[in-house]
């Protein structure tokens, strides 16, 4: 056991309010380290590549109360694997993927999967996700997807070192969730906000995050 990792997780827990779910992001992290994090009490793990995740899940089958979160860009030919291997899909980022998730979830006769809608609150050409106007337009269609449990919003902010910009971005997402909730759609629940990574999670929590996704803060720097 790395004393370091256990201690880091314990220290983190103490700074995070109890209602915020800590997701340990384990891309490039070995199954040994995942086991250590598990032993330190972590049950939520996030991966961003389907193949890498499946290989690790195979080796970790004995840890059967892990909740797996898919946080990577979802290609349409991987939707089925994402549905069958993850408890939460954070990155429903376009209409086509939402439609496919709904259809395949029905075909597989699954319990409707937990889905978050990935939104871009600030102009950012490099990131996936709905712009706010596009998401607002898509809502009536999304609300008709009976085979999905849409639970809230997810965001990855464009890189910035400015805490003010981070706050502005996260607050836009929080306000958008509030606005959507007030529209009283029947299938769109807006109770989760997946926002905040190692560089900005403290600000995300202040802005209302219910899930934070931490990689480097827990496991150290990733290989380049
Ligand atoms: C890698 C990743 C994270 C974690 O990033 P860190 O900076 O290591 O905390 C969070 N969310 C997503 C979508 C990621 O790809």
Dihedral pair phi/psi, residue 152, rounded to 5° = 155, -155
Give a three-class secondary structure readout of 113-158. CEEEEEEECCCCCCCCCEEHHHHHHHHHHHCCCCCCEEEEEECCCC
pLDDT greater than 90 at residue 2? no
Domains observed in the chain: 3-219 (3.20.20.10)
Please state, for a pLDDT cut of 90, what percent of the chain lies above it.
95
The whole-number pLDDT of residue 1 equals 60
Q: What pLDDT score does 221 carry?
A: 92
User: Residue with the nearest Cα to atom 6 of ligand 1?
Assistant: 215
Q: Ligand 1 pocket, 197 CB below 6 A?
A: yes
Residue 101 beta carbon below 6 angstroms from any ligand 1 atom: no
Distance CA 50, CA 85 (A): 9
Position 124 confidence tier, pLDDT thresholds 50, 70, 90: confident
**Is there an atom of ligand 1 within 6 Å of 113 CB?**
no
Half-sphere exposure of 141 (CA within 13 A, CB side): 13
What integer pLDDT is reported at residue 125 of this predicted model?
78
Calculate how far, in angstroms, residue 214's C-alpha sits from the geometric centre of ligand 1.
Answer: 6
Contact 66 CB / ligand 1 (< 6 Å): no
CA-CA distance, 121 to 28, in Å (whole number)? 28
Does the CB atom of residue 73 touch ligand 1 within 6 A? no
pLDDT category at 29 given cuts 50, 70, 90 is very high
User: What is the average pLDDT across 140-161?
Assistant: 97
Phi, psi angle pair for 33, to nearest 5°: -65, -35
| d(CA 135, ligand 1 centre) in Å | 23
Quote the pLDDT of residue 127: 73
pLDDT for the residue numbered 123: 87
pLDDT at position 49, please? 98
188 pLDDT exceeds 90?
yes
Q: What is the pLDDT of residue 15?
A: 96
pTM score above 0.85: yes
Helix, strand or coil for residue 214? strand
Across 2-24, average pLDDT: 94
Per-residue pLDDT at 3 exceeds 80: no
């Amino acid at each position: 056991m790395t004393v370091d990792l256990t201690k880091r997780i314990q220290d983190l827990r103490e700074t995070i309010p109890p209602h915020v779910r800590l997701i340990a992001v384990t891309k490039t992290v070995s199954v040994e380290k995942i086991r250590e994090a598990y032993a330190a009490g972590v049950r939520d793990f996030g991966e961003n590549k389907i193949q890498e995740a499946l290989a690790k899940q195979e080796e970790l089958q004995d840890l059967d109360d892990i909740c797996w979160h898919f946080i990577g860009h979802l290609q349409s030919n991987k939707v089925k694997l994402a549905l069958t291997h993850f408890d939460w899909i954070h990155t429903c980022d376009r209409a086509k993927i939402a439609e496919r998730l709904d259809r395949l979830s029905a075909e597989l006769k699954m319990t409707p999967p937990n889905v978050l809608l990935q939104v871009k609150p600030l102009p950012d050409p490099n990131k996936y996700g709905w712009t706010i106007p596009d998401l607002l337009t898509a809502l009536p269609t999304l609300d008709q997807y009976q085979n999905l449990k849409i639970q809230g919003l997810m965001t990855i902010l464009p890189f910035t070192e400015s805490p003010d910009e981070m706050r502005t971005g996260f607050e836009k997402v929080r306000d958008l969730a509030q606005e959507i909730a007030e529209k009283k759609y029947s299938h769109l629940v807006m109770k989760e906000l997946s926002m905040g990574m190692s560089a900005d999670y403290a600000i995300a929590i202040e802005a209302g995050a219910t899930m934070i996704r931490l990689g480097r803060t827990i496991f150290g720097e990733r290989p380049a």
